[in-house]
Amino acid sequence: MQEIFANLALGFETAFTLTNIIWVFIGGVLGTIIGMLPGLGPATGVAILIPITFGMNPATALITMCAVYYGAMFGGSRASIMINTPGDAASIVSCFDGYPMTKQGRAGAALAISAIASFIGGMIGMIFLIFLTQPIANAALKFGPAEMFSLMMFALVATISLSEGSILKGIIAITFGLMLSTIGLDALTGITRFTYGIRSLEDSIDFLVIIIGVYAITEVYKNFRDLDTVYNLDAKSIGKVAITKQEFKQSIGPMLRATPLGFFVGVLPGMGATIATFMDYAMEKSISKHPEKFGKGAIEGLAGPESANNACSCGAMVPLLTLGIPGSGTTAVMLGALTLIGVRPGPLLFAQHPDIAWGVIASMLLGNIILILINLPMAIPLVQLLRIPNRLMLPSVFGLAILGTYFLNYSSFDFILVMITAILGFLFSKIDLPIPPMVLALILGGTTEQTFRNSMVLSDGSLSILFQKPLSAVFLVLAAVSLLYALIKRRKKAA
Amino acid sequence: MSKNLFSGLLAAGVGLAYFITALLLPEQMMGDRLGPKVFPLIVGAAAILAGAGLSFFEIWKKSTRKDEVDFGFKTERDVWVKIAVLTVAGIFYGLSIDFLGFILATTAIMLVATLLINKGHLKQNITVSVLFSIVSYLGFGIALQLSLPRGLIENLLPF
Amino acid sequence: MKKLCSLFVLVALVISVGTLSATPGWKPTKTIELVAPANPGGGWDMLCRVVQKTLVDEKLVEKNVIVVNKPGGGGAVGWKYLEGKKGQGEFLAATSTLLMLNNLLGSSDLTYKNFNPIAMLQAEWIAVAVKADSPHKGINDLLTAIKANPSAVPIGVGPTLGNNDHLVFLSLAKNFGIDPKTIKFIVYPGAGGEIVPAVLGDHVKATVIGLGEVLEQHRAGKMRVLGITADKELEFLPGVKTFKNQGIDLIFPHWRGLIAAPGLKPEQIAYWDDVFSKMVETKTWKDQISKLGWTNFYQSSSVHTKYLTEQTEVFNDLLTTVGLKK
């Protein structure tokens, strides 16, 4: 224990230089802005920084990159809350209750709680990172293909409970998402599937294109009926970026529950913040006393996932710092950048470069504080944007969606996809087919299939492997329970 | 037709088409024992079952209140016209951006969108469109160094 | 004969020097784009970024250099983008054996002939590695175990079957008299980031992977490299034997290089030959690649083109022998 504090002191010594603090500030602002835009995520943000980091010492470079990563996490949900357009996959969930809050004139509260929840998730996540790194890294190694597959099944089934209406409709939405995920080159064998002769489809469908389609552009279409309404905002409350005591009380439980969940999911290789946020939202909804308010502006539904998201990015640092392997796309870029400036993180990073490893941890604590100081005031001008009337707001959202689509892959074909999915999203809303399970299934589909196939290869084709591994069995049981629970709840409602 | 019945039939139909396509996939490849075929077959079957089930329940308990599906092709015609125009504009943007360049293409699509949604404010719309494309070019192309096509007006750009 | 040869070389030298100085020469007139046909963080991306850093730090070019990531289609998306830049010398893209493999396995119609090969720059040797507490001490132990009971020895490979790593293991097995069809491959599309934890967590018994991905694990004593595809023992990795030293005749560089757009003029190619021949001699370059576990492996444009012609044949044979191509 004492050793940890001594190391942490070393870390603070490294981190607390004026240069570093300035860079954390710059990185945090840059990350927040990049995170807000659909199509540009933390990975792009860090990649943009790489040439700038060439001249830095390794600690400053890593600290700056972490600040961008963190900033993007803070910024990702801004656009979700304001215009129902997720900045990245992890902030889809923030749309569910954040956007309804905006429509009710509570954008200030939504932006405030999202920053506060991100902060709390990040801070507690950091504490986990400081004290639990080694045991958690070891626990994560226990996750083989079978465990991963069962976890995926649990996450997918849990999303059914997110939406109202028939469970079968939820299942249909999941199968649609999984179908979309199998289009293109099969990752394992290189065979093309379901492309129907369209070459551009071989490259698989980028789920971010679909997200931009069914959220941003579909939202524009839905608003076409009432073009002249301005958001129903109370002129007095518009500038107020704060939450009430009551709102904070409601949110604190979800935030504390979300953090460990998000952190651990972040540690697992190949898992991301998306799955953590979805799972947390489903959990909060199912234990809530008033689940009917979820999706209609429940502050708990925004606070929990926001904390999960930031805790997850702390978790993703665990494999990078302990094993030198990237736990997410963003940390992969960071690993590359570090190598370029002379540090190759590996299992010996803590032993060989304690100043860097602990400096990063200390700077992440610092970064969190700076980011909330940036984000709360930044919400004030953001809220003012809502004064823009719909007839100018909608074209701008459409324009941003178009730019986001282009920045994803610079591909002409993506525009055909995005326009088609926007129409489909609009049609699906007319037959009440839920979008979230479909999007999550599309995101997780590739990993679901790959882990299923790998499990089957390992077991020589026997499904029993999914039940023999204890952890895997636990997740399958949880999946079954949550399905039953959803069934019973709906029966009760109907009766 | 009710919303549920429509969704059920849609799922069953799409599922069936998908299932049949999956059947035509090759069996397996070296070192890959399950093959690229099994997972899609399971997914396709699940879609058919869920779709058929939903349709079946819907027809069976006919007495409950009807939740009729209405896409509004007739009642909201002007909405659909706007959607159609934006769809064509979006696809055209993707196809023309390399030739026109980022600034021209973005200005054009923003003009279409604003003229469509913000009718009758020509000056305002032109200002918004031009500003939107130039500011985004400066921000992404210059400040963030993303590689954006300059296109037709390549040599006229001061930056 | 010898004299004739040297005369030839001399003449060639004179001519090439002559052309270099005589022509007005070409220089990039706008920002130089290095296209990495993959996501940030992978091998191609790293190559582009190391080249970018070296060119800028060592002031080898006068224009700005940026790295552009165009992932997709096993490289095809980025290469197609390059193909469209006909005659523009400012565009270079990373390439590797995958350009050949994709074509030979039928998943792409692009070959080096669609471009101007500029240079081969580095090679990364491929390693077979196990967890540190594994009973297998050398490649032959592992292969013997597979031969006895292939089902008990799953091998981790990624990101897809049919890549260099997979091909290496198939050839090792073939050499050892194992039917390649019996080997149990577990495929991880996340490559190193997923394979290393899978080995450490005992979900697979061994992996075949680029040396750089397991180098730090090996040094930290968490994993053990059983053998590498190099021609001789590596300076930075003492004690690790090549496969050749262990009696299996397999030398396999996973090289990476750069190609340029089609339709370039000779002076444009000459410019890059000049730049890259200087670049591979710089300290920045040498430092960077050794950190990544790479080996310097420079070939100029003309040598590389010839090499590609030969290698296409070699790969074609290899793929047929191990049964990936019919």
User: Å from A46 to nearest chain C CA?
Assistant: 9
Q: Looking at per-residue confidence, does A28 or C159 come out higher? A: A28
Answer for the pair A404, A212: CB distance below 8 angstroms, yes or no: yes
Across the interface, whether the CB atoms of C180 and B31 are under 8 A apart is answered yes
* Average pLDDT of span A198-225: 88
A221 touches B: beta carbon within 8 Å: yes
**pLDDT value, residue C159:** 81
A235 touches B: beta carbon within 8 Å: no
Answer for the pair B101, B150: CB distance below 8 angstroms, yes or no: yes
Q: Which residues contact A14 (CB under 8 A, 6 or more apart)?
A: A20, A59, A355, A356, A358, A359, A362, A363
How many residues in chain B? 159
The average confidence (pLDDT) of chain B is 88
**pLDDT value, residue A238:** 57
Across the interface, whether the CB atoms of A399 and B110 are under 8 A apart is answered yes
Q: Which residues contact A415 (CB under 8 A, 6 or more apart)?
A: A402, A405, A406, B90, B91, B93, B94, B95
* Average pLDDT of span C44-55: 92
> Which residues are paired to C119 by β-bridges?
C258
- Looking at the 3D structure of chain A, how many domains does it have? 1
* Average pLDDT of span C38-51: 86
**pLDDT value, residue A409:** 79
For residue B32, list chain C residues with Cβ-Cβ distance below 8 A: 161, 185, 187
Most confident among B136-150, C83-97, C179-193, C312-326 (mean pLDDT): C83-97
Query: Does the pLDDT of residue C125 top 80, yes or no?
Result: yes
User: Å from B110 to nearest chain C CA?
Assistant: 26
* Average pLDDT of span A276-305: 91
Instruction: Determine the topology of domain C125-246 in CATH.
Output: D-Maltodextrin-Binding Protein; domain 2 (3.40.190)
A54 touches B: beta carbon within 8 Å: no
Q: Which of C186, C201, C288 sits opposite A458 (nearest CB)?
A: C186
Answer for the pair A140, A318: CB distance below 8 angstroms, yes or no: yes
* Residue C237 neighbours by CB distance under 10 Å: 18
**pLDDT value, residue C257:** 95
Q: Which of B82, B93, B144 sits opposite A402 (nearest CB)?
A: B93
Task: Kindly state the helix (H) or strand (E) to which residue A477 belongs, with its residue range.
Answer: helix A470-494
**pLDDT value, residue B63:** 55
User: Å from C158 to nearest chain B CA?
Assistant: 12
**pLDDT value, residue B128:** 94
Across the interface, whether the CB atoms of A413 and B94 are under 8 A apart is answered yes
Q: Which of B21, B117, B144 sits opposite A395 (nearest CB)?
A: B117
**pLDDT value, residue A487:** 83
Q: Where are the beta strands (DSSP E) in A67-186?
A: 184-185
- Count Cα atoms within 13 angstroms, Cβ side, for C107: 29
Q: Give CA separation, A353 vs A46, A287, A350, C115, in Å.
A: 22, 44, 6, 44
Across the interface, whether the CB atoms of A431 and B18 are under 8 A apart is answered no
A193 touches C: beta carbon within 8 Å: no
Amino acid identity of residue A131, one-letter, is: F
* Average pLDDT of span A310-327: 86
Residues of A (145-164) whose Cβ lies below 8 Å from C? 145
Instruction: Kindly state the tokens that stand for C153.
Output: 């020895």
Closest residue on chain B to A221 (Cα): B83
Distance CA A185, CA A26 (A): 40
Query: What's the alpha-carbon Rg for chain C, to the nearest Å?
Result: 21
Closest residue on chain B to C183 (Cα): B31
Q: Looking at per-residue confidence, does C40 or C235 come out higher? A: C235
Q: Where are the domains of chain B?
A: 3-60, 77-156
Across the interface, whether the CB atoms of C166 and B31 are under 8 A apart is answered yes
Across the interface, whether the CB atoms of B30 and C323 are under 8 A apart is answered yes
Distance CA A334, CA A47 (A): 8
User: Å from B153 to nearest chain A CA?
Assistant: 19
For residue B109, list chain A residues with Cβ-Cβ distance below 8 A: 399, 402
Percentage helix, strand, coil, to 5, in chain B? 70, 5, 25
| Confidence at A163, pLDDT banded by 50, 70, 90 | confident
Query: Does the pLDDT of residue A169 top 50, yes or no?
Result: yes
Residue A298: Cβ-neighbour burial (10 angstroms; 0-12, 13-18, 19+): buried
| Confidence at C22, pLDDT banded by 50, 70, 90 | very low
Answer for the pair A26, A302: CB distance below 8 angstroms, yes or no: no
* Residue C50 neighbours by CB distance under 10 Å: 24
Across the interface, whether the CB atoms of A179 and B43 are under 8 A apart is answered yes
Q: Which of A196, A392, A432 sits opposite B118 (nearest CB)?
A: A392
> Which residues are paired to B32 by β-bridges?
B29
Instruction: Kindly state the tokens that stand for A169.
Output: 């409709």
CB pairs under 8 A between A and B: 170
For residue A346, list chain C residues with Cβ-Cβ distance below 8 A: 215-217, 219-220
Asked, colleague to colleague, whether C23-123+256-322 and C125-246 share their fold, the answer is: yes
Answer for the pair C121, C47: CB distance below 8 angstroms, yes or no: yes
Instruction: Provide the residue range defining the domain that includes A96.
Output: 2-494
For residue B147, list chain C residues with Cβ-Cβ distance below 8 A: 33, 66, 68
Query: Does the pLDDT of residue B35 top 90, yes or no?
Result: no
| Confidence at A159, pLDDT banded by 50, 70, 90 | confident
**pLDDT value, residue C272:** 96
Give the tens place of pLDDT for each residue, A438-469: 999 998 998 899 899 999 989 888 899 999 99
Q: Looking at per-residue confidence, does C297 or A232 come out higher? A: C297
Q: Which residues contact C260 (CB under 8 A, 6 or more apart)?
A: C82, C89, C91, C92, C93, C115, C116, C117, C118, C268, C269, C272
Answer for the pair A115, A253: CB distance below 8 angstroms, yes or no: no
| Confidence at C24, pLDDT banded by 50, 70, 90 | low
Instruction: Kindly state the tokens that stand for B127.
Output: 């200002």
Answer for the pair C283, C50: CB distance below 8 angstroms, yes or no: no
The DSSP code sequence of A10-42 is HHHHHH-SHHHHHHHHHHHHHHHHHHHSTT--H
| Confidence at C13, pLDDT banded by 50, 70, 90 | very low
Q: Which of C33, C170, C183 sits opposite B147 (nearest CB)?
A: C33
User: Å from C162 to nearest chain B CA?
Assistant: 9
Closest residue on chain A to C70 (Cα): A409
Which SS3 state, helix, strand or coil, does residue C201 take?
coil
* Average pLDDT of span A188-204: 82
Q: Give CA separation, B9 vs A155, A194, A427, C134, in Å.
A: 26, 21, 15, 55
The average confidence (pLDDT) of chain C is 87
Amino acid identity of residue B37, one-letter, is: K
Answer for the pair B110, A394: CB distance below 8 angstroms, yes or no: no
CA C87 and chain centroid, separation: 26
Which SS3 state, helix, strand or coil, does residue C225 take?
strand
Testing the interface with C: which of B27, B30, B95, B144 to mutate, by most C Cβ within 10 A?
B30
Across the interface, whether the CB atoms of C216 and A458 are under 8 A apart is answered no
Across the interface, whether the CB atoms of B29 and C181 are under 8 A apart is answered no
Q: Which residues contact A376 (CB under 8 A, 6 or more apart)?
A: A112, A115, A241
Testing the interface with B: which of A179, A218, A423 to mutate, by most B Cβ within 10 A?
A179
User: Å from B27 to nearest chain C CA?
Assistant: 14
Helices (H), chain C: 2-22, 43-57, 76-83, 97-104, 139-148, 164-176, 192-200, 211-219, 266-279, 283-291, 301-322
Instruction: Kindly state the tokens that stand for A12.
Output: 């603070």
Q: Looking at per-residue confidence, does A269 or C227 come out higher? A: C227
| Confidence at C16, pLDDT banded by 50, 70, 90 | very low
Q: What single DSSP character describes residue A227?
A: T
**pLDDT value, residue C21:** 43
Residue C57: Cβ-neighbour burial (10 angstroms; 0-12, 13-18, 19+): middle
Across the interface, whether the CB atoms of B83 and A221 are under 8 A apart is answered yes
Instruction: Kindly state the tokens that stand for A99.
Output: 């956007």
Distance CA C243, CA C251 (A): 8
A332 touches C: beta carbon within 8 Å: yes
Give the tens place of pLDDT for each residue, C245-289: 999 999 998 999 999 999 999 999 999 999 999 999 999 999 888
Residues of A (115-174) whose Cβ lies below 8 Å from B? 166, 168-169, 171-172
Testing the interface with A: which of B7, B78, B100, B125 to mutate, by most A Cβ within 10 A?
B7
Q: Give CA separation, C107 vs A192, A203, C77, C103, C314, in Å.
A: 9, 11, 13, 6, 19
Q: Where are the domains of chain C?
A: 23-123+256-322, 125-246
Residues of A (309-328) whose Cβ lies below 8 Å from C? 319, 323-327
Distance CA C90, CA A493 (A): 66
CATH 3.20.20.140 correct for C23-123+256-322:
no
